[in-house]
Structure 1
Amino acid sequence: MTILVTGATGTVGRLLVEELLQTGQRVRALTRNAAKAGLPQEVEVVEGDLARPETLAAAFEGVTAAHLINFAGDDYQPLEQGDRIAEIAAQAGVRRVTVLGGRADGALEQALAGTDMEWTLLHPVEFMSNTLRWWTHSVRAEGVVKEPFGDRLSAMVHERDIAAVAATVLVEGGYGGRSLTLTGPQAVATTDKVRILSEAIGREIRFIELTEDEARAQWRMFGMGEETIEFLIEALGNTPEEGRTVAPTVEQVTGRAPRGFAQWAAEHAEAFQPVASA
């Protein structure tokens, strides 16, 4: 069968492509720019944009299972025509769908619920890979992490475990109509996260705990908008129970224990090493 992966050049999408290839699946990848996809040679790459459903018919042709994301574009805006995407998939004969979420269910999820397709919603908590986005520069340049809420707990999930769950569900099924919360093996405090990363890179990283106002000022300096800043203050300062509670889902679905942050840090240690002086 052919499995379509949307968001195929993203953090989870690339890993999902790898997971599917390893099990011998035929993979078709949707991307907005095929020339820059950089995917394995055996992957069929097609151009299209989830934000423009009129570009998707060819991508879904002959597909029996599909991995969808519920956002579009580099700014992760919610899909406005999710119902049309579900319609195109159903008309193409897609039988099984996973949807990578992260925000409240929108038009896509609601439309899928009204079809005969076997749909499964994937709701990961904080990605471990967010560490690259938020900490790489300051750790490399100064050996420091500056954040508020040092004692905040997060049951962060390894992005490869998200991909592994999606691959298993797409190939084997058995989770139709379910919403799966995906976490790592433990809830880790921000201060412990810094310590674990320090051990992985072999040098001390200082943690400076910011007040909320100091955090706002830092994020404004990074160019963040006020809405995003207030979202972060709320999300980090009042992490919902789901985001700090370990769920058994990864092991239940894949048969393997989820990867911990120490493993993630070891895998990405090189990204946090200081830049060599000229």
Structure 2
Amino acid sequence: MNTILVTGATGNVGRHVVSQLAAAGLEVRALVRSPERANLPERVDVVRGDLSAPETLEPALKDVESVFLLWPHVTADGAAEVVTTVAGHARRIVYLSANVADEPVTHYHEIERLIRHSGLGWTFLRPGGFAANTLGWAEEIRRGVVRWPYGQASRSLIHERDIAAVATHVLTSAGHSGATYVLTGPERLTQAEQVRVIGEVAGHDVRWEEQPLEEARERLTAAWGNPAFVESALSAWAGFVAAPEQVTPTVERLLGRPALTFRRWAQDHVADFS
């Protein structure tokens, strides 16, 4: 009973977690919706499953000791059944939460609460902003103008490879039970500066255009479908203008190397913006 189950295994973070665990020679099982399209390392046990249908999770948990949980929705609907199912088979869970998890309005808060009361050993990873979220600007960057609110919001965005490396470390070493790790990149950049860096790396001349708040609210609500989550995000960005996002040393402390810079992230993703 030493298999590690990775959910969200084909996503930005999950794919790296699977690859890093497999490279370390560990028994890895990847839960995916479409195994035929997963394109994961050969030695990985790829199984079909969907967290929206918890009954598909039960077979995937056979002989599993630890679970890496990436919840794919912006509400906690259905999470209680998933956590209960995991608790019936595994011993511990590493949950990819967020640094806003202390806010009761977020689904991260509710899922952490469910896990704390599940009887599982747990570790919460609370990254701040994902550098990968800026992929949403790709089309606008290619056009030369990014229209978004709060250009002066200062963020410490983290590379998904660093999140995965921390998850891998936690899943394969002792001393992390009951720990909550706040993860960030090594530097702060405003959103307008992020656009400039991506443009420089991709070879595009890109300018920032401040988007009116109400227009941004409508756009994000249409995309995310959760007005409360949209308000939480907008409020956070507004706050980062006056009080820049924190930079934590957690990645370097756990991994023994500095966190990867945003420019390094942009270089790793240059094809997405070209």
2:82 corresponds to which letter in structure 1? I
Structure 1 counterpart of 2:93, from 97, 113, 135: 97
Q: 1:225 to 1:83 in 2, by over 3 A?
A: closer
**Partner SS state of residue 172, structure 1:** coil
Contact 1:65 1:97 in 2 (8 A): yes
Amino acid in structure 2 at the alignment position of 1:61: K
Counterpart-to-counterpart distance in 2, 1:160 and 1:259: 8
1:214 Cα offset (Å): 4.9
Separation of aligned partners in 2, 1:222 and 1:193: 24
Shift of 1:264: 0.6
TM-score when normalising by structure 2: 0.86
Distance 1:31 1:242 in 2: 39
The alpha carbon displacement at 1:68 in A equals: 0.9
- CA shift for structure 1 position 88: 2.8
Q: Is this contact kept in 2: 1:122–1:181, CA < 8 A?
A: yes
Q: Note closer, same or farther for the CA distance 1:203–1:154 as it changes in structure 2 (3 Å cut).
A: same
Provide the residue aligned with 2:177 in structure 1: 176
- Contact map agreement 2:146 2:206 (CA 8 A) in 1: yes
State the distance in 1 between where 2:36 and 2:248 align.
39
116 and 242 in structure 1: CA distance in 2 versus 1, 3 angstrom threshold = farther
**1:198 to partner: Cα distance:** 2.2
Give the Cα–Cα distance (whole angstroms) in 1 for the partners of residues 5 and 244 of structure 2: 29
Structure 2 unaligned residues grouped into runs of 5+:
none
2:124 is equivalent to residue 121 of structure 1: yes
Output the amino acid matched with 1:99.
Y
TM-score, scaled to structure 1: 0.85
Give the share of equivalent positions with the same residue, in percent: 37
| Aligned pairs, number | 265
Amino acid of the structure 2 residue aligned with 1:29: A
Displacement of 1:31: 1.3
* 1:129-278 correspondence to structure 2 within 5 Å: 129-133=132-136, 135-140=137-142, 142-216=143-217, 219=219, 227=227, 230-239=231-240, 244-273=245-274
Checking the alignment, whether the CA contact within 8 Å between 1:50 and 1:56 is kept in structure 2 is yes
Instruction: State the one-letter code of the partner of 1:95.
Output: R
Structure 1 residue 153 displacement after superposition: 0.5
Mark the runs of 5 or more structure 1 residues left unpaired by the alignment: 274-278
With over 3 angstroms needed to count, the CA separation of the structure-2 counterparts of 1:130 and 1:52, relative to structure 1, is: same
2:198 and 2:92 map into 1 onto residues whose CA distance is: 38
Could you tell me how far apart the structure 1 residues matched to 2:120 and 2:207 are? 50
Gap change, CA 1:124 and 1:213, over 3 Å in 2: same
The aligned residue for residue 276 of structure 1 is none
Instruction: Give the Å deviation of 1:231.
Output: 4.5
Once the two structures are TM-superposed, the CA of residue 21 in structure 1 deviates from its matched residue by 1.3
Letter in 1 for 2:96: L
Q: Distance in 1 between matches of 2:240 and 2:198?
A: 22
Q: Is the 8 A contact 1:127 1:159 kept in 2?
A: yes
Alpha carbons 1:125, 1:243 under 8 Å: kept: no
Match of 2:115 in 1: 112
Q: Secondary structure at the match of 1:78?
A: coil
Distance 1:215 1:136, change over 3 A: same
Q: Report the counterpart of residue 82 of structure 1 in structure 2.
A: 79
Q: Is the 8 A contact 1:81 1:107 kept in 2?
A: no
Q: Which moved more, 1:184-193 or 1:225-234?
A: 225-234
* Superposed displacement of residue 254, structure 1: 1.5
- Displacement of 1:203 after TM fit? 3.1
| In 1: Cα distance, 2:144 partner to 2:115 partner | 47
